[in-house]
Amino acid sequence: MSSCNGFEVPRHVAIIMDGNGRWAKARRLPRSEGHRRGFEAARRVVEAASELGIGYLTLYAFSVENWARPSWEVRALMEMLEEFLRSHRSELVEKNIRLEAIGRLTDLPPAVRRELEETREATSKSTGLTVVLALSYGGRVEIVEAARSLAVEIEAGMLRAEEIDETLFRQKLYTAGYPDPDLLIRTSGEKRISNFLLWQIAYTELYVSPTLWPDFGPEEFLAALQDYAQRQRRFGRVLQNG
């Protein structure tokens, strides 16, 4: 945790960026316009997180379930993602931000995978904020893949079942090496997790904002962080002075 503006800043913030479609609908615009504005909102929040000294920012950009949306919407999102990565690469490097991705990345169109790989490579030496994009991400499939990978090691005689514990299990998740989120923000008022980071959010503090993602800005991000700073995290224990 680092201290900023007089309050403790969480080490890892995760965001379910929701409400692009409703934002567009309210303005009689195509859903793709909502997504375009959503990317701009993501850029502003990444910048704010970087300036505030946050260590990790995980952004839920596309779920495994989102593939079932109309093909034109999926295509528009993938094209925007590709363009976003290409056009912001040098800015990320300049700002000392590292970009990573989690999810079933092999599901992504080759052009997106290429841009992702190049951005990962270009920013790999950054020591500031790590932005983790969750793409074709599903919490359940992540857990299933981890279980399968352990089973393969057992079959190969490399591991015994008794050796499996939480520490080993989490090393098999896409998020191996990242701390669990301290704070999870969901925009657009929906009070659900939608298959995001199921294992990792066991003790994460939740913050639901009614704001639709394209309207979410640095001020509201700061408000969420300030709200978090007031929370008392107990992790199931009784605190001495609590």
- b vs e for 24-52, b when ≥16 Cβ sit within 10 Å of the residue's Cβ? beeeeeebbbbbbbbbebbeebbebbbeb
Stretch that binds ligand IPE, among 6-14, 40-48, 189-197, 198-206 (CB under 6 A): 189-197
Q: Tell which one of 63, 126, 136, 204 touches ligand IPE (CB under 6 A).
A: 63
Could you tell me which of 235, 182, 186 has the C-alpha nearest to residue 2? 182
Distance CA 53, CA 43 (A): 16
* β-pair type (7-9, 2-4): antiparallel
Minimum Å gap between C-beta 135 and ligand IPE is: 9
Residue 194 near which of Mg ion, ligand IPE, none (CB within 5-8 Å, type-dependent)? ligand IPE
Residues 11-50 that bind Mg ion (CB under 5 A): 18
Residue least distant from ligand IPE (Cβ): 21
Q: Is 20 annotated as a binding residue?
A: yes
Instruction: Please name the amino acid found at residue 239.
Output: L
Q: Is 23 annotated as a binding residue?
A: yes
Q: Which of 5, 66, 182, 241 is catalytic?
A: 66
CB nearer to Mg ion: pick between 63 and 130? 63
Q: Tell which one of 13, 14, 19, 52 touches ligand IPE (CB under 6 A).
A: 19
Give the SS3 label for residue 180. Answer: coil
- Per the CB < 8 A criterion, the answer to whether 86 and 116 are in contact is no
Cβ neighbours of residue 51 under 8 Å, at least 6 residues apart?
none
195 is catalytic: no
Sheet of 12-16: strands edge to edge? 98-102, 130-137, 56-63, 12-16, 183-186, 205-208
Is position 226 an interface residue for ligand IPE (rule: CB under 6 A)?
A: no
Partners of 101 in the β-ladder? 133
Residue 61 near which of ligand IPE, Mg ion, none (CB within 5-8 Å, type-dependent)? ligand IPE
Residue 170 near which of Mg ion, ligand IPE, none (CB within 5-8 Å, type-dependent)? none
Is position 181 an interface residue for ligand IPE (rule: CB under 6 A)?
A: no
Residues that bind ligand IPE in the complex, under the rule CB under 6 A: 16-22, 38, 60-63, 66, 77, 188, 190, 192, 194, 213
Residues that bind Mg ion in the complex, under the rule CB under 5 A: 18
